[in-house]
Amino acid sequence: MALRPIPTNMTGVSFARHHGAFLYATATGFSQNARSYHVRSCLVRASVPRLNTTKRLPLSAVPIRSFASEPSKESSGNGASAARQKESESDAAVTAARSPDEPHSQTPSDSSATSSISDQSEFDWEEKPNFDIEKFTQLPYENFGVNQHMIIDREFKEALRQLLWKFRAPIRYAFAYGSGVFPQSTGGASTNAEVKSVHPRPPLAVQKAQNGSPKMIDFIFGVSHTQHWHSLNLTQHRDHYSALGSLGSGAVSYVQDKWGAGVYFNPYVTVEGIQIKYGVVNLDTLCRDLSEWDTLYLAGRLHKPVKILRDDPRVRLANQINLLSALRTALLLLPPTFTEQELYATIAGISYLGDPRMSLPTENPKKVNNIVNHNMLNFRRLYAPLIESLPNVTFNDPSCKNVDWVANTDSVLNLEQDMDPVKRGNMVRRLPKAFRSKLYFEYQKKFQIPRLEFDTMMEENKNENTGSFKRQQGGRFEQRIAQQPPEELRDIIRGIIKKTVSWPSMSQSVKSFVTAGFSRGFRYLGEKLAKYRQGSNDKKDS
C-alpha cells in the first residue's frame, strides 16, 4: 500500500526518514530512542502500536525529542533547580522543532538498542498497567503518550507555568484546561475595566491568548499526599480557602477525598495578577478515574485537549488508557461511516451526558459543539495517532492525500469503522473496568442470564492463559452485546454514562459551596447562568 504524504510543517512536530519509515519526532526536553512505524492511513503511528501486533519492532537509535521532562521534586532546592533546568531544555527543544531544518537535523543510525521491556509487558499495558513506575523510560515504549501534549503560544505557556512556582506545596502533575486556555468562541472587544474585573494585572501573553475575552483560567493539580499538600498550602495561601480552611488540613483533605469525585476546588484566586481556579486531586484518585472510569469527573476533562504543564509518567499511562477508552466508546455509539467532527463531538460529549449542569439552565447548551469547532486541530493531534493504532477504524478521505491535511481545519475528514461483531466485541472487552462492569450487569439482566452462570462465564474469561493476548479479546458475551441493535446499544451505553457521571458531578457542585464558600459559590453559579442565557440567545439567532 502506498504511503500517504506526511506534513512537515506541523507546529512543534518534526519527522525524520529512516529505512523507508517515518519517525514521529516531538518537541521537548530530552532525547530518547524512537521506533519506526510505517504509515497505514493519514498519520504516522507514533503514540500507540497497533494492538493486533504480535511482534515487537526493533528500537532505533535515532534521537527523538519528547514533550515532557521527568517529574520534579519541588520540596527540595535541588529538585526545584532540576525542574527548572528540564523546563528550559524543553523550551529549547520546542524552539528547535519549529525550525525548518529540524526534519533534517537527526542522523539516522543502523544500530538498534535492546529493549528492557519484554514483549509481554508491551501488550499488557492496557490490561495490567503498571502504576508503580517513576520514570518516563519505564513507560511501555518510546514516545508513549506524546499525543497528549498540546502546543500553545510559548509566552502564554510560560505565564501559566510560572503560576505553578508560586505554590510551595509540591505539585507532581498539572494541567490547564477550559475556555480560558482553549477558546470556545471567537474573540470579543473588552474594555480595560472589563479585563481588570477578571485579571487585575494580566501579563500581555494572557491578554493575547484570550483575545479580548478575559476568562478565569482553570487548573488541576495532582499531588501525592493530600493532607500534607493542604497543610503547606494553608500556611502559604490561607486566603485561597473558605472558612473550612480554619478547621485545618485534616478537615480540608477529608472533604476532598470523601465527598464527590475527590477534587477540592479553590476558585476566584488571584495569582500574579491572573484569576485562576485550581482543583487539587490525589494522584491515585486521578489514575483510578482515568483507567477505570469510576466517576468520569476528571477522565472526562482529559477527553478534551488540555495543556499539560507538569507531567507524570503514571498519569500519562493512565490517560492514554482513558483516551483509547473514549475513542472506543464513541465508536460503539457511532454508525459505520461518520465525520471527524461527529467523532470528536461524541467524545467531548461523554462527560456532559449525565452532568446536571447540562439539564439545568447553568451551562451553554452549545458547549460541546463550541469546544470541538474551535479546537479541531488540537482534537486531531490528540486522537489521530490513536485512530491509526486501532485495527477497526480508519480515515477514508481524499483530503488525507494533501501535504497539509493536519493543519487544514477547513476540511472535515470522513472515517469508517468495521462493524464486525468480533472486533466490536473486542472493543467492549477493553472498556474501562468499572464502566465495563456496569455494562455487563445491564446485559446480564437483559439476556436473563442466571447469576451463577454469569459468574462462571466471567471467571472463565479471567482465567484465560495469562501469557496470551486473548485476555483483551471479547468472548461470546461481548460479541452478543456488540450484535445488539445499534440504537439499543447506544441507549444502554448512554444510560451507563449518565449514571456514572450524574452523582459525582452533583455532589461536587454541592460541595463547592463548602469548599469555595457561599459568596464565591453563588458567583460561580451566576456566571454559569449567564453562559446559559448567552448560548440560548445565540441558538435563537442562528
Let me know if 169 is exposed, middle or buried by CB neighbors in 10 A (0-12, 13-18, 19+).
buried
User: Which residues, 6+ apart, have CB-to-CB distance to 250 below 8 Å?
Assistant: 227
Closest by CA position to 29, among listed 90, 82, 76, 77:
90
Q: What cell was used for 539?
A: 441558538
Of 94-108, 256-270, 271-285, 393-407, the poorest mean pLDDT is in 94-108
- What is the pLDDT averaged over residues 283-303? 96
Measured torsion, CA atoms of residues 122, 128, 129, 131, in degrees rounded to the nearest 10: -130
Q: What percent of the chain has pLDDT over 90?
A: 49
Q: What is the mean pLDDT of residues 104-118?
A: 33
pLDDT of res. 186: 73
Residue 38 confidence (pLDDT) above 50? no
User: If DSSP codes are grouped into helix, strand and coil, which group holds residue 282?
Assistant: strand
Question: Across the chain, what does the average pLDDT equal?
Answer: 77
* pLDDT tens per residue, range 352-373: 887 776 665 556 678 899 999 9
pLDDT at res. 374: 92
Check whether 95 has a pLDDT greater than 90: no
Residue with cell 520534579: 72
Cβ distance 203 to 244 under 8 Å?
Answer: no
Split at pLDDT 50, 70, 90, the class of 471 is: low
pLDDT > 90? residue 495: yes
Residue 458's pLDDT band (boundaries 50, 70, 90)?
confident
CA distance 140 to 87: 24
Q: State the distance between the two ends of the chain, measured CA to CA, in whole angstroms.
A: 45
pLDDT band at residue 221, thresholds of 50, 70 and 90?
very high
Q: How many whole angstroms separate alpha carbon 20 and alpha carbon 3?
A: 10
Contact between 478 and 470 (Cβ < 8 Å): no
pLDDT band at 126 (very low <50, low <70, confident <90, very high): confident
Residue whose entry in the numeric block shows the C-alpha cell 486531531: 380
User: pLDDT digit string (tens) for 166-196?
Assistant: 999 999 999 999 999 998 877 666 778 888 8
pLDDT at 86 over 60: no
Q: How far apart are CA 83 and CA 322, in angstroms?
A: 27
| Residue 351 confidence (pLDDT) above 70 | yes
Better pLDDT: 526 or 534: 526
106 by Cβ neighbours in 10 Å (0-12 / 13-18 / 19+) ranks as: buried
Phi (first) and psi of residue 309, to 5 degrees: -100, -30
Query: What are the phi and psi torsion angles at 438 (to 5°)?
Result: -65, -40
For residue 70, is pLDDT > 50? no
Q: Which residue has the higher pLDDT, 447 or 512?
A: 447
pTM reported for the whole predicted model? 0.78
DSSP 8-state symbol, 137: G
Grid coordinates representing 414? 470522513
